[in-house]
């Protein structure tokens, strides 16, 4: 038996308690500074008010004030904060982690630099470590919704870190007959792939909103949605190449794009924009929600613009992304640039 400490009691980190606990480990779930209500209810009856699932009896719950106690003796730490907690994690948690205990993150997202470089969260956290630190930062990516995982639906993801031998040991802690895990050294490729899908899920969901606005006119608009999905995959593949990731990671980008278009806040934003709402109106309807799609699409478009200024790419190479950015940040009306999609392969 190993001791696993998950920091951040969001939906995905909490869902991961199922395979970990069922594999016989001691599981400690620590709430972030925003999770006191979640932890209080879990302590009462194991019910997670956001995940809307009852966790296993025997999982141990901690408030953030007891994080050092929760980390004592741990064999693995898991970062389960939202993408909006990345800086907090760097400032408050990284300095108290045992360098000899590996860390794996389920937080999806990335940063953009002024020169157009896309930086993964593991790379960013590594840059915040003291010189000579031995802390190994691994990450999880792939198409997996928290509620499906909690319900034991077959889920196929990847774990990434340069040392595959050590990564295989971490996989053994998590793997079950329903939680399937590939391994890859390509941290940049996997992490960029699963981050990019949020902005492109918004773009693909525009077709769903257009369909809903038109109502039942006898046309399913499957071709439209598929065309946007196809263009999304093409643009994500090009962005993976630019970021220095392996192109085989596109399988996780495409899988994650599919599941995100099916449900979630990224889909909802795209749907509302497709129905003709302005972004301000869409955000008002989703007040209080963490909208990763808006952040990722904005950062990615900003990176492409920076690369275009350097002559590395043309903005016309990413017509769907650029139009999503227009909808989000430039006050433009919906007008999908279909004519810019065809090209010579």
Domain containing residue 178: 3-185
Q: What is the pLDDT of residue 289?
A: 67
- Among the listed residues 115, 213, 117, 104, the one whose alpha carbon sits nearest the alpha carbon of residue 167: 104
Q: Over its length of 345 residues, how does the chain's per-residue pLDDT go in tens digits?
A: 899 999 999 999 999 999 999 999 999 999 999 999 999 999 999 999 999 999 999 999 999 999 999 999 999 999 999 888 999 999 999 999 999 999 999 999 999 999 999 999 999 999 999 999 999 999 999 999 999 999 999 999 999 999 999 999 999 999 999 999 999 999 999 999 999 999 999 999 999 999 998 886 656 778 999 999 999 999 999 999 999 999 999 999 999 999 999 988 899 999 999 999 999 998 888 876 667 889 999 999 999 999 999 999 999 999 999 999 999 999 999 999 999 999 877
Tally of domains in the chain? 2
Burial 265-277 (b: 16+ CB within 10 A, else e): bbbbbbbbbbbeb
Note whether 244 and 180 are same-domain residues. no
Query: Helix (H, G, I), strand (E, B), or coil: what is residue 263?
Result: coil
Residue 31 falls inside a structural domain: yes
Give kind and range of the element (H or E) at residue 123.
Answer: helix 121-127
- Residues 197, 180, single domain; the answer is no
Same domain? For 124 and 270 the reply is no
CA-CA distance, 296 to 302, in Å (whole number)? 10
Q: How far is 318 from 333, CA to CA, in rounded Å? A: 18
In a domain, 222, yes or no: yes
Number of H helices and E strands in the chain, helices first, is 15, 12
- From 140, 159, 185, give the residue that closes a domain: 185
The CATH number of the domain holding residue 123 is 3.40.50.720
Rounded to whole angstroms, the Cα distance separating 243 from 252 reads 16
Which H or E element spans position 311? none
* 146 CB neighbour count, 10 Å cutoff: 22
State in Å, rounded, how far the first CA of the chain is from the last one: 52
Collapsed DSSP state (helix, strand, coil) of residue 51: coil
User: Residue 216: which CATH number?
Assistant: 1.10.1040.10
What CA–CA distance (Å, rounded) separates 195 from 97?
25
DSSP secondary structure, 152-167, as one string = T--EEEEEE-S-HHHH
pLDDT at 263: 86
Look-up of token digits 């389960």: 80
Residues 161, 293: one domain? no
13 within some domain: yes
Residues 181 and 197 in one domain: no
Please identify, among 133, 165, 185, the residue that sits at the C-terminal boundary of a domain. 185
What's the pLDDT score for residue 288?
Answer: 61
Task: Say if residues 147 and 53 touch (Cβ distance below 8 Å).
Answer: yes
Q: Sign (positive/negative) of CA torsion 265, 266, 272, 278?
A: positive
Q: Is 128 within the bounds of a domain?
A: yes
In a shared domain, residues 202 and 87: no
* Secondary structure of residue 183 in the 3-state scheme: strand
**152/18 Cα distance (integer angstroms):** 8
Element (H, E) at 301: helix 292-309
Same domain for 154 and 11: yes
Same domain, 128 and 203: no
Of 75, 73, 66, nearest to 31 by C-alpha is 66
pTM above 0.85, yes or no: yes
Residues 52 and 99 in one domain: yes
* Domain boundary, last residue among 153, 185, 217: 185
DSSP assignment, residue 41? H
Q: Indicate whether 179 and 224 sit together in one domain.
A: no
Domain annotation covers residue 345: no
The answer to whether the Cα torsion of 274, 279, 281, 282 is positive or negative is: positive
List Cβ neighbours of 258 (8 Å cut-off, separation of 6 or more): 143, 229
My answer on whether 136 and 14 are in the same domain is yes
The verdict on 152 and 226 lying in the same domain is no
Nearest 5°: the CA angle 77, 153, 49 is 60
């Amino acid at each position: 038996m190993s001791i696993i400490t998950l920091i951040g009691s969001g939906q995905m980190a909490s869902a991961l308690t199922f395979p970990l606990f069922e594999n016989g480990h001691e599981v400690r779930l620590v709430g972030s500074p925003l999770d006191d209500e979640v932890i209080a209810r879990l302590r009462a009856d194991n019910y997670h008010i956001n995940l809307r699932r009852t966790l296993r009896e025997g999982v141990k719950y901690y408030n953030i004030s007891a994080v050092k106690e929760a980390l004592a003796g741990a064999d693995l730490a898991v970062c389960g904060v939202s993408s909006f907690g990345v800086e907090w994690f760097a400032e408050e948690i990284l300095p108290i982690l045992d360098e000899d205990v590996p860390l794996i993150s389920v937080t999806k997202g990335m940063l953009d630099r002024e020169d157009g470089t896309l930086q993964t969260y593991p790379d960013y956290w590594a840059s915040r470590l003291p010189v000579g630190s031995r802390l190994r930062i691994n990450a999880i990516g792939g198409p997996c919704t928290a509620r499906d995982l909690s319900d034991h639906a077959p889920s196929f993801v990847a774990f990434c870190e340069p040392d595959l031998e050590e990564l295989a040991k971490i996989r053994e802690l998590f793997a079950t007959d329903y939680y399937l895990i590939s391994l890859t050294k390509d941290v940049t490729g996997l992490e960029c792939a699963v981050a990019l899908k949020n902005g492109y899920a918004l773009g693909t969901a525009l077709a769903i909103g257009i369909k809903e606005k038109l109502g039942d006119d006898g046309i399913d608009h499957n071709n439209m949605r598929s065309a946007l999905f196809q263009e999304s995959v093409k643009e994500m593949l090009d962005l993976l190449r630019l970021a220095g990731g392996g192109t085989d990671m596109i399988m996780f980008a495409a899988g994650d794009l599919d599941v995100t278009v099916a449900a979630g806040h990224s889909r909802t934003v795209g749907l509302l924009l497709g129905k003709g709402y302005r972004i301000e109106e869409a955000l008002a309807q989703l007040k209080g929600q963490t909208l990763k799609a808006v952040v990722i699409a904005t950062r990615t478009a900003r990176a492409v613009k920076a690369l275009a200024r350097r002559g590395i790419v043309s903005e016309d190479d990413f017509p769907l992304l650029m139009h999503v950015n227009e909808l989000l940040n430039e006050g433009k009306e919906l007008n999908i640039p279909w004519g810019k999609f065809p090209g010579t392969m």
